[in-house]
Structure 1
Amino acid sequence: MNNHSLHSFDELREASSSDCDGAKVAIMMCSFNGVSFLKEQLDSFERQHHRNWELYVSDDGSQDDTLELIKRWGCERVKIFDGPRKGFSANFLSLTCREEINADYYAWSDQDDIWRQEKLQRALSYLQKVPANVPALYCGRTELVSETGLHVGYSPNFSLAPHFNNALVQNIGGGNTMVFNQAARLLLQKAGGDVIVPSHDWWAYQLVSGSGGVVLYDSEPMVLYRQHGDNLIGANSSWLARLRRLRMIFKGRFYEWNGQNIIALESMFSCLKDEHRATLSRFKNLRNKSLFARVFGFFRLGLYRQTLMGNLGLVLAVLLKKI
């Protein structure tokens, strides 16, 4: 940890929650026409074992009763802001960068999930073992539930260690699972709320791992992730989802996303560790090389995804010059 190295979640298994009981958590939720499921999420905040939290909501122009529901909920620990209306990623990042939000830890939340009672307590019990000056990000699996809250499965359980070489080509944690410390929040603030990236959660993983921070992946689901027709991004564990990702590779979406991430990471170049700066530069240069140079270069670079199918898709993207 002295070298700001990454850690598996199991390395901090002996952590105690007693030291973090007084820590203040800012729950940052973005809303947009979310009245259908919002109350269940709000009520799950109230049931948290960790009690020292405040809720900050950034609404992106809801036309239903979302804001009225939040106000009727009656909790005094809520503050509502107008969102930038530029999409979910921009909404989360702009909310994260608001100077008036101050806490020891920060938790992103969707509007339609349900948190387990121990979610905050569990996240903090591990994060507080990381030195305060080291960026630290907690994330993990989710339990998938239907519109009515019935269990339908789990998100993939990733077993390989979090690392910048993984973060460049894959996000392992949904934003609805993420909790991070003040040092990680300062990184996100420095990057700014206007940075153009495919998703705020993938960006957080890249930024924290790239800076040499600690990324903790929890294999125990702490969030009930609701699957419904209005989901902007659903679970990625089905064969249909895998086929969709392959289609995105063929259409060049993955290439486009990587391009956005590279530009964003280059804007934070001074915050990256030397080895990760070198990896980023090589990654950028290899994307447009000839087939042999591209394949050989990416093999030597050591990028990886968490599953066999994911790595096969990565190989395909390299071969087709869609990386």
Structure 2
Amino acid sequence: MHKELTGRVAILMGAYNGERYLEEQLQSFLGQNYENWSLHVSDDGSSDRTRQLLSNFEHANARPVQVIDGPRKGFCQNFLSLLCNPDIDADYFCFSDQDDVWHADKLSRALGWLRAQPADVPALYCGRTHLVDDDGTSLGYSPLFTRAPSFSNALVQSIGGGNTMMMNRAAREVCQRAGAVDVVSHDWWVYIATTAVGGRVHYDAQPSLDYRQHGNNIVGSNMSWQARLERVKMLGRGRFKQWGAQHLRALQVLVPLMPSHNWAVLAAFERVHRGNLASRIIAFRKGKLYRQTALGNAGLLVATLFNKI
């Protein structure tokens, strides 16, 4: 255990019929070189042995496992219900999928950065992932993002998967204030909310988990050409515009917490979302909205011109 690191970590796992891979994930928790963690699981109506496996794990390892009935409204609400649950108390909070495998230093790497941040400043750690198939064979890595995280980026792109995320108490309190909002994904929302209020985000280029890619994945790595083509199709169908509307509604409760420069960014994004062509172009430049790649930025400009954000 890393004695220089302190603080209670709450692992927030969203579960649904996860028996096939769950045991391997649970064993990777036991393999962490940071031991001060607790496990909280929101089971969204599993009909397999998920709950039995969790009970077996608790009894075999003397590790308390809190299992909660999920809201049964999809993966996003399942995770947000855990994050906003006032009965779960810790100093740091991290999400976990039910089918990954954590590297031994996953918790300690995140804590190393988070502990260096002021406790009263919302802080979020996320990062890259190592992709594996059903059998654990390497498939490469998720895209490496190099531009700095910011609110101007968060409004138009999610850069860190929830399975890589850990946040401090201050960031969790921001999310609790917003509540279980109607958004497309919990991880994108946490990135938006943290940067909206002027919090700090660190994207780690070194992966700390094996992210399993299989047919049951709700959200995959988004790195294949097929995935990129699907994003173009979603853009044409207005899916991104729908998501933008959801984020604008969800952000209203956080406006009083935003620094003034982010008010300007939010106002610009709203004009890009709702304005006529001329006002969209002007607002796009004023808001300095950006994605992480040149191709992504080209697509963002096209989407702005055709009113698809």
- The answer to whether the superposition gives a TM-score over 0.5 is yes
| SS at 2:47 equivalent | coil
**2 CA distance for matches of 1:299 and 1:139?**
27
2:132 corresponds to 1:145: yes
| SS at 2:125 equivalent | strand
**1 CA distance for matches of 2:22 and 2:74?**
19
| 1:121 aligned partner | 108
Question: 2:293 pairs with 307, 311, 321, which one?
Answer: 307
Amino acid at match of 1:37: Y
Amino acid at match of 1:25: V
TM-score for both structures, normalised by structure 2: 0.96
**2 CA distance for matches of 1:243 and 1:161?**
25
Please give the per-residue CA displacement for 1:213-240, whole angstroms capped at 9, x wherever unaligned. Answer: 1101000000110000000000111111
| SS at 1:276 equivalent | helix
Question: 1:279 pairs with 265, 268, 275, which one?
Answer: 265
Please give the per-residue CA displacement for 1:256-293, whole angstroms capped at 9, x wherever unaligned. Answer: 00100011011211111111112112211232322233
| SS at 1:153 equivalent | strand
The CA RMSD over aligned residues, in Å, is: 1.1
- Aligned residues of 1:147 and 1:228 also touching (Cα < 8 A): yes
**2 CA distance for matches of 1:214 and 1:31?**
29
| 2:277 aligned partner | 291
- Aligned residues of 1:26 and 1:101 also touching (Cα < 8 A): yes
**2 CA distance for matches of 1:309 and 1:42?**
38
**2 CA distance for matches of 1:18 and 1:255?**
47
2:4 corresponds to 1:19: yes
| 1:189 aligned partner | 176
**2 CA distance for matches of 1:98 and 1:46?**
24
| SS at 2:19 equivalent | coil
| SS at 2:291 equivalent | coil
Identity, in percent, stands at: 50
How many pairs does the alignment contain? 305
Matches within 5 A, 1:1-323: 18-20=3-5, 22-73=6-57, 74=59, 75=61, 76-193=63-180, 195-323=181-309
**2 CA distance for matches of 1:97 and 1:210?**
18
Please give the per-residue CA displacement for 1:296-320, whole angstroms capped at 9, x wherever unaligned. Answer: 3212321000011211111121121
Q: Please identify, of 210-219 and 73-82, the stretch whose mean Cα deviation from structure 2 is larger.
A: 73-82
- Aligned residues of 1:19 and 1:125 also touching (Cα < 8 A): no
Instruction: Provide runs of 4+ in structure 1 moved above 6 Å.
Output: none
- Aligned residues of 1:56 and 1:78 also touching (Cα < 8 A): yes
- Aligned residues of 1:146 and 1:152 also touching (Cα < 8 A): yes
**1 CA distance for matches of 2:272 and 2:124?**
29
- Aligned residues of 2:265 and 2:286 also touching (Cα < 8 A): no
Please give the per-residue CA displacement for 1:111-160, whole angstroms capped at 9, x wherever unaligned. Answer: 01110000001100110000100000000000000000100011000000
Amino acid at match of 1:311: N
Question: Aligned-pair distance for 1:72?
Answer: 1.3
**2 CA distance for matches of 1:300 and 1:102?**
40
Relative contact order, higher structure (CA 8 A, sep 6+):
1
**1 CA distance for matches of 2:157 and 2:103?**
26
